[in-house]
Structure 1
């Protein structure tokens, strides 16, 4: 399947192992009613609020990956833009809501199916590492609460390193620190831009994790829809 035997595997965290959308949905649903957003938005269900937030959050993370917005700008805009789209003055957004969200969400432990099983299998055969564009405090909490840190020899967090995927520098830093060779390494992630093309651009093979089964682009050779498929591939 690959031109060279693999020794080091680099994983993304959010949307690849840790189910960001599911964990965020649970957290936002709880807080929606705690802060009486059902009255504020005149919506008895939290569905529209969560859907709007999710779209905005994904868009803003795309900008953050490329350094076009900062961490504070991302965190502010994802809720203020959601309020604006839903016809409510963003000045009415309670700051404490976000603080609670930032505390609650990373403690959630919903992972994609077969995550522990697959990581345990791979850790016996390969050196596993993590490269995340997530924020330091949130990543550390997710890894601890979900008992994921034990699988990885190195954990690279972009906020600590100072550059985000797909910047080649974060991949070169990870390879050098892990004492890994690009041709003998593999990147697994959900984000075509940050994870897949970012890795391919520095000579690292990549597997597109695609649980939503969107159409695979022509420039992407390898794709899985369930983490368990890695046990057959590797």
Structure 2
């Protein structure tokens, strides 16, 4: 991989640096106890978390490409989860989504070696974030996990008004960075939003694939852990 021409690295945040699933699991374990969900027929927190994770990932995939709104995502992910697990609609805890949204972004679990890798890369490149996350929660995540100092520009799709994979957000990010396509590379976990979004725009990309899922043929480079970036870049 020829890296000589790169000057700017654009990172995704959720599922790439900030360990969304681990932080969500911690949050839901706490809320399961607080709301005594076992008393409304849920057998275990693990089953609840597994069902929520599946629903949430599906909804975010739709949000990335503009099929659903932020409000629909937030309204649907827990309601669908409770209904999938057989909870009667009138027993679904009121305000559960709001409590989750307040608590989860305060969690600070990052993927292994994140600080070491970001420190190393900051010594060689100008770094930026492009997140499809929601503005308020994204800002809380970045501040709480002490990573803001690594990045020159933090681009949040909700503030820009367009999501990855739309070419407009990559164009906007390059403009803020004062960079051109050939000087940048995108690193993220979403094949559709991060990788194909960048590639279709004309910028190189590295697929972060910690679960070691099958890599599509049109994805040129992947890593399974962040520390591999210290060898690639």
Fold agreement, TM-score > 0.5 = yes
Output the CA distance in 2 between the equivalents of 1:42 and 1:126. Answer: 48
* Residue 190 (structure 2) aligns with: 191
> What is the 5 A alignment of 1:40-189?
40-43=40-43, 45-189=44-188
CA displacement 1:162-221 (0-9 Å, x = unmatched) = 000000000011111111110110000000000000000111100000000011111111
3-state DSSP class of the match of 1:156?
strand
Output the CA distance in 2 between the equivalents of 1:80 and 1:182. Answer: 41
Contact persistence 1:4–1:183 (CA under 8 A): no
* Residue 32 (structure 1) aligns with: 32
TM-score between both structures, scaled by the size of structure 2: 0.97
3-state DSSP class of the match of 1:75?
helix
Output the CA distance in 2 between the equivalents of 1:155 and 1:92. Answer: 40
Deviation at 1:91, TM superposition (A): 3.8
Output the CA distance in 2 between the equivalents of 1:5 and 1:12. Answer: 21
Deviation at 1:117, TM superposition (A): 0.4
Deviation at 1:17, TM superposition (A): 0.2
Deviation at 1:134, TM superposition (A): 0.2
Output the CA distance in 2 between the equivalents of 1:2 and 1:191. Answer: 23
Name the Cα RMSD after superposition.
1.1
For structure 2, the residue ranges without an aligned partner over 5 or more in a row are none
Relative distance call for 1:28 and 1:42 in structure 2 (3 A) is closer
Relative distance call for 1:14 and 1:42 in structure 2 (3 A) is closer
3-state DSSP class of the match of 1:95?
coil
Between 214-223 and 10-19, report the one with greater CA deviation. Answer: 214-223
3-state DSSP class of the match of 2:226?
coil
CA displacement 1:43-84 (0-9 Å, x = unmatched) = 1x2011110000000000011111111111000100111111
Deviation at 1:140, TM superposition (A): 0.3
State how many pairs are aligned: 233
Output the CA distance in 1 between the equivalents of 2:93 and 2:58. Answer: 22
Output the CA distance in 1 between the equivalents of 2:56 and 2:161. Answer: 21
CA displacement 1:107-134 (0-9 Å, x = unmatched) = 1011000100000110111010000000
3-state DSSP class of the match of 1:201?
helix
Deviation at 1:99, TM superposition (A): 1.7
For structure 1, the residue ranges without an aligned partner over 5 or more in a row are none
TM-score between both structures, scaled by the size of structure 1: 0.97
3-state DSSP class of the match of 2:207?
strand
* Residue 208 (structure 1) aligns with: 207
Output the CA distance in 1 between the equivalents of 2:73 and 2:20. Answer: 16
3-state DSSP class of the match of 1:214?
coil
